[in-house]
Amino acid sequence: MKVLQLGKFYPIKGGVEKVMEIFTEGLAERGFPSDMLCVSRNGNTENVILSEHARVLRTQKLAEIAATMISPQLIWRLRCIRRKYDIIHVHHPDPMAAVALFFSGYKGKVVLHWHSDILKQKFLLRFFKPLQSWLIRRADLILGTTPVYVEESPFLKDVQHKTSFLPIGVDPYPWLSDEIKDIRAQYPGKKIIFSMGRLVTYKGYEYLISAMTHLPEEYVLLIGSDGPLKEQLQQQIEELGLKDRVTLLGGLKEEKKQAYFGACDVFCLSSVMKTEAYAIVLVEAMSLGRPVVATKIPESGVSWVNAHEVSGLNVPVRDPEALAEAIHKICGDPELWRRYSQGARQRYDDIFTKDEMINNLIETYTQLLNNN
């Protein structure tokens, strides 16, 4: 069995590309050759060797339109290599990958990974929708990341008979004792709320910052990553008089990010739109036994990942008071904190490990190939 992961770009920028890389490496580790075919973000089109049986094949970017990498070379490259693969696993949304598959002449099995609906680029969707409909019909199997998302997506209502889901799993974060102690030493006697993700509209950070006005002085909020809303959020922090209690940490290196996950008392995800379909950061926090406060985003899988009153609490979107109440409820009750901490780690072990994900992926591919 040889598999091609098709879509997006490299070097990695977001969650979809990370999932593609984890799939590629995970399959290769089990002895199944697997490649990624995607567009180069930096102009370098040399193959990247991930391991003995795993490569990243990159094509030249012509332009970038509405967050889509345009690469005619992707079509030509796929036509040249299509016969080498038993399965092509297409990662959606990525219009360029759909175009390449359409013109490739590939006759084998297709798995369509439905990471999310196209929500933001509505203008683009008007033109892409016929091709998206073809891709849905062409797919032998459509995989979501949670049962909620594939059931609720309006684009998948008529193809539920060929949909399933595969939760995204990750390796557990290490417990970096010294680094964690250093971070906590900066906030003596404080309860640390941590959030991680790009500073963009759908993350709902303005509501999380506002929630701090409803929490006692002993709480501090640390937000990792950068993004276009940085200045706007910093202005909100200053206007609310929260400069000493809310810190935008900027971009964090991997080890530093892991340390902040371990140092926090609670991890909070305040996202407000279905664009947040899964939130791998929840799984990363749960791998360290961190209780989670997340939002009940309609039609999203976020509140499935964070099981309410098991790994933490889920609250309505755009509700600073509800966020504050949930955070305080967990952090103010040591016994409840311990219960949700244990529940978070147990849920991670049961559902969200990388090994479990790769095992299920191999089983899915095997069944697909056997159903001829």
35 in the same domain as 120: yes
64 in the same domain as 93: yes
- Beta bridge partners, 251, equal none
Among 123-137, 206-220, 341-355, the range scoring the smallest mean pLDDT is: 123-137
Among 12-26, 81-95, 112-126, the range scoring the smallest mean pLDDT is: 112-126
pLDDT band of 322, cuts 50, 70, 90 = very high
pLDDT digits (tens, 9 = 90+) for 227-274: 999 999 999 999 999 999 999 999 999 999 999 999 999 999 999 999
Q: Is the pLDDT of residue 82 over 70?
A: yes
336 in the same domain as 278: yes
Q: Structurally, how many domains does the chain consist of?
A: 2
32 in the same domain as 84: yes
Rg of the chain in Å (alpha carbons): 21
Residue where the block lists tokens 């997006």: 8
| Average confidence (pLDDT) over 5-19 | 86
pLDDT band of 11, cuts 50, 70, 90 = confident
256 in the same domain as 217: yes
pLDDT band of 359, cuts 50, 70, 90 = very high
More confident residue, 124 or 278: 278
Mean residue pLDDT across the chain: 94
252 in the same domain as 131: no
195 in the same domain as 153: no
Q: Is 210 left (phi over 0), alpha (psi -120 to 50) or beta?
A: alpha
Q: Is the pLDDT of residue 120 over 70?
A: no
199 in the same domain as 101: no
pTM: 0.88
| Average confidence (pLDDT) over 178-197 | 97
Exposed, middle or buried by CB within 10 Å (0-12, 13-18, 19+), for 270?
Answer: buried
| Average confidence (pLDDT) over 282-307 | 96
Contact between residue 258 and residue 177 where contact means Cβ atoms under 8 Å apart: no
Q: What integer pLDDT is reported at residue 42 of this predicted model?
A: 87
361 in the same domain as 334: no
Q: Is the pLDDT of residue 191 over 80?
A: yes
160 in the same domain as 25: yes
Which strand (E) or helix (H) includes residue 268? Answer: strand 266-268
We report the CATH number of the domain holding residue 274 as 3.40.50.2000
Range of the domain at 61: 3-169+353-370
186 in the same domain as 159: no
Q: What integer pLDDT is reported at residue 178 of this predicted model?
A: 96
pLDDT band of 128, cuts 50, 70, 90 = confident
More confident residue, 342 or 119: 342
CA–CA distance, 49 with 46 (Å, rounded to integer): 9
How many degrees, rounded to 5, is the angle at CA 277 between CA 276 and CA 278? Answer: 100
The order of strands in the sheet holding 246-250 is 246-250, 219-224, 191-196, 266-268, 292-295, 312-315
Contact between residue 35 and residue 64 where contact means Cβ atoms under 8 Å apart: no
357 in the same domain as 315: no
